[in-house]
Amino acid sequence: MKLTNMLIVLFVVAMLVAACGPSEPEVVEKEVTRVVKETVVETVIVEVEVKTETEAEAGAEAGAEEPTELTMVAISPNTAEDPWPQALMQSADRVIEEKYRGLDMNFEYVENVQFPDVERVGREYAKSGEVDILWFHTSYLDAVSVLREEFPDQLISITSSVYDDHKAGSNQYWMNAGPVLESSYLGGVLAGLMTESNTVGVVAAYPVDSQTMPMNAYIDGVRSVNPDAEVKVSFIESWYDPAKAREAAETQINAGTDVLFSIVFGPFEAATKHPGVSGIGFLVDQIYLAPEVVLTSPIAKWDPRIKFLIDEWWEHKVNGTPYSSPAEAIQFTMADGGNEIGPINEDLVPQEFIDQVMDIRQQILDGELVVQARFEIPESD
């Protein structure tokens, strides 16, 4: 009987000791995959602490500490000099400088990732555990559908105008790829006012929604002030091929075009060789490329989209809120700070035209004028 009582006492003491403080964490070896360069990976062995179930529950009840750092990686087939990544990087720089939510933010742009490599490159970043937000180019829809299922705790963003396989309520957030709808319209207004030949042109990459939306907005802007203007359209079938773009621009100029909407790199080089020919840039202020040619540029401001993703990540990280993406594409209008018409080149544009463009801009901001998004493939007149 005494032995039995002694065992009971020892058992109770042991339970009290266990309740008073956690045991030393178990240390195990775990493989972590880390991306070293653009597509080179290495596998290293690191030691990680494995918490007991009781410790994990205690941490959840106490609430996670607010994070101080965030890493976002954007993966794209575009070279970093292309307007699309330039706009994204400039937006990221502004958010970094602002120290949004007090975060020290690191942004990395991974360029020239070809379609067969997208899953592998995205997977290695997700497996590293070092990336908080993964952002994918519009052409990577299939890869994103795979990766979101494989890494449900990884916040993934895809930029696209159409995404048939979008999964609402998941960790995959769909960003609308038409960030310059209203500002492209304003660029068209300026082109319609400036053309002397009554023929304007557009040189784009592919006949896909992310290209046709700003093209149609531009054309609508042209015809809002110059309904008789003709429009020439060229697709170079490449995201980045300045030589092809330059050749397409030359063809349009020879057909009478004197204002070119340059959605890809190259047309301005052709325009500089033809006096009287001017251009409209795309996504970033491109006057610096050819100040004797460029009139203005529709500017994409990804800032509110980046902040939206950071807010979703923050709630998940701090409060344990499950990722739950909206059913529709996330978009921000000009009034929301999602895009803007860039500086207008006062050396080339008469003040009366500048005033007219800015008046129409104000109508858009006031809600008096709503620019309609159209996705059909435009054709040359």
With H, G, I as helix, E, B as strand and everything else as coil, classify residue 38: coil
Are 255 and 314 members of one domain?
no
Are 152 and 171 members of one domain?
yes
Contact indicator for 82, 240 with CB cutoff of 8 Å: yes
Let me know how long the chain is: 381
pLDDT at position 141, please? 86
For the segment 33-65, what is each residue's pLDDT rounded down to a tens digit? 333 334 333 333 333 333 333 333 333 444 568
Strand pairing category for 26-35 and 41-50? antiparallel
Q: Is 292 part of a structural domain of the chain? A: yes
Q: Is 207 part of a structural domain of the chain? A: yes
For residue 380, give the nearest of 257, 268, 280, 282 by alpha carbon: 257
pLDDT at position 60, please? 42
Q: Is 60 part of a structural domain of the chain? A: no
Are 167 and 268 members of one domain?
no
Are 263 and 148 members of one domain?
no
Q: Is 43 part of a structural domain of the chain? A: no
Are 290 and 310 members of one domain?
no
Q: How confident is the model at residue 104 (pLDDT cuts 50, 70, 90)?
A: very high
Distance CA 261, CA 64 (A): 49
Mean pLDDT over residues 72-92, rounded? 93
Residue 1 has pLDDT above 90, yes or no: no
Are 83 and 166 members of one domain?
yes
Angle at alpha carbon of residue 202, lines to 372 and 178, rounded to 5°: 35
What's the start-to-end Cα distance of the chain, in Å? 104
With H, G, I as helix, E, B as strand and everything else as coil, classify residue 276: coil
Q: Is 188 part of a structural domain of the chain? A: yes
Distance CA 362, CA 360 (A): 5
On average, the pLDDT of the chain sits at 85
Are 287 and 352 members of one domain?
yes
Domain CATH code at residue 155: 3.40.50.2300
User: Considering its fold, how many domains does the chain have in total?
Assistant: 2
Are 129 and 186 members of one domain?
no
Say which DSSP state 283 is in.
B
With H, G, I as helix, E, B as strand and everything else as coil, classify residue 287: helix
For the segment 326-341, what is each residue's pLDDT rounded down to a tens digit? 998 898 999 999 999 9
Query: Mind giving me the DSSP string for 166-216?
Result: --TTSSEEEE-S-TTHHHHHHHHHHHHHH-SSSEEEEEES-SSHHHHHHHH
Are 81 and 212 members of one domain?
no
Q: Is 132 part of a structural domain of the chain? A: yes
Domain span including residue 243:
181-301+336-365
Q: Is 138 part of a structural domain of the chain? A: yes
Are 358 and 263 members of one domain?
yes
Are 76 and 171 members of one domain?
yes
Are 168 and 291 members of one domain?
no
Mean pLDDT over residues 121-138, rounded? 95
Mean pLDDT over residues 168-185, rounded? 90
For the segment 228-277, what is each residue's pLDDT rounded down to a tens digit? 999 999 999 998 899 999 999 999 999 999 999 999 999 999 999 999 99
Distance CA 216, CA 374 (A): 6
pLDDT at position 64, please? 65
With H, G, I as helix, E, B as strand and everything else as coil, classify residue 355: helix
Q: Is 37 part of a structural domain of the chain? A: no
- pLDDT higher for 167 or 70? 70
